[in-house]
Amino acid sequence: VSDAPLADLLEPFDPPARLLMGPGPINADPRVLRAMSTPLVGQFDPVMTAAMNRVMALYREVFRTTNRATFLVDGTARAGIEAILVSLIEPGDRVLVPVFGRFGQLLVEIAERCRADVHRVDVPWGEVFPLDQLAEAIERVEPMLVATVHGDTSTTMCQPLHDLAAVCDRHGALLYADVTATLGGNAFEMDAWNLDAASAGLQKCLSGPSGSAPVTLSDRAVERITARKQVEAGLREPSDDACASSMAPIASNYFDIAMLLDYWGERRLNHHTEATSMLYAALECARIVLVEGLDAAVERHRLHGAAMTAGVRGLGLDVFGDPAHKMHNVVGVEIPAGLDGDTVRADLLRGFGVEIGTSFGPLHGRLWRIGTMGYNARADAVLTTLSALEEVLRGHGHAMPVGGGVDAATAVLAESG
Ligand SMILES: Cc1ncc(COP(=O)(O)O)c(C=O)c1O
Which atom of ligand 1 has the smallest separation from the CA of 151?
A: 1
Peptide bond before 25: cis, by omega within 30 degrees of 0? yes
- CA triple 323-363-85, angle to 5 deg: 85
Integer angstrom CA distances of residue 234 from 266, 271, 274:
19, 11, 19
Separation CA 132–CA 142 (nearest Å): 15
d(CA 166, CA 406): 44
For residue 22, the CA-to-ligand 1 centroid distance in Å is 13
The helix/strand/coil state of 349 is helix
Query: What is the pTM (predicted TM-score) of this model?
Result: 0.97
What residues line ligand 1, using a CB cutoff of 6 Å? 24, 76-78, 103, 149, 152-153, 178, 180-181, 201, 210
Ligand 1 mean position to 77 CA, how many Å?
Answer: 5
Residue from 180, 215, 363 whose mutation best tests the ligand 1 pocket (most atoms within 8 A of CB) = 180
Residue 242 — pLDDT band, cuts 50, 70, 90?
low
pLDDT at residue 415, as a whole number: 86
- Residues 22 and 355 sit within 8 Å (Cβ to Cβ): yes
Inform me whether the pLDDT recorded for 241 exceeds 80. no
- Do residues 282 and 212 make contact, with C-beta atoms less than 8 angstroms apart? yes
Confidence at 232, pLDDT banded by 50, 70, 90: confident
pLDDT in tens, 290-338: 999 999 999 999 999 999 999 999 999 999 999 999 999 999 999 999 9
Best residue among 72, 82, 103, 155 to mutate for probing ligand 1, ranked by most atoms within 8 Å of CB:
103
Helix (H, G, I), strand (E, B) or coil at 279: helix
Per-residue model confidence as pLDDT tens digits over 336-369: 999 999 999 999 999 999 999 999 899 999 999 9
Q: Taking the C-alpha atoms of 348, 352, 354 and 360 in order, what is their torsion angle to the nearest 10 degrees?
A: 10
What confidence score (pLDDT) does residue 238 get?
80
Instruction: Tell me the per-residue pLDDT of 171-212, one tens digit each, with 9 for 90 and over.
Output: 999 999 999 999 999 999 999 999 999 999 999 999 999 999
Q: What is the pLDDT of residue 243?
A: 54
Ligand 1 centre to CA of 260 (Å) is: 21
Distance between CA atoms of residues 190 and 312, nearest Å: 33
What is the b/e burial string over 86-104, where b = at least 16 CB atoms within 10 angstroms of the residue's CB?
bbbbbeebbbbbbbbbbbb
Instruction: Give the separation between CA 278 and CA 286, rounded to whole angstroms.
Output: 12
Closest CA to 184 of 321, 288, 262, 322: 288
Of 102-106, 168-172, 233-237, 336-340, which range is least confident?
233-237
Separation of 104 CA from ligand 1 center, angstroms? Answer: 11
Provide φ and ψ at 124, rounded to 5°. -60, 145
Using the CB atoms, write b or e for 360-393: b if 16+ within 10 Å: beebeeebbbbbbbbbbbebebbbbbbbbbbebb
Distance (angstroms) between ligand 1 centre and the Cα of 204 equals 9
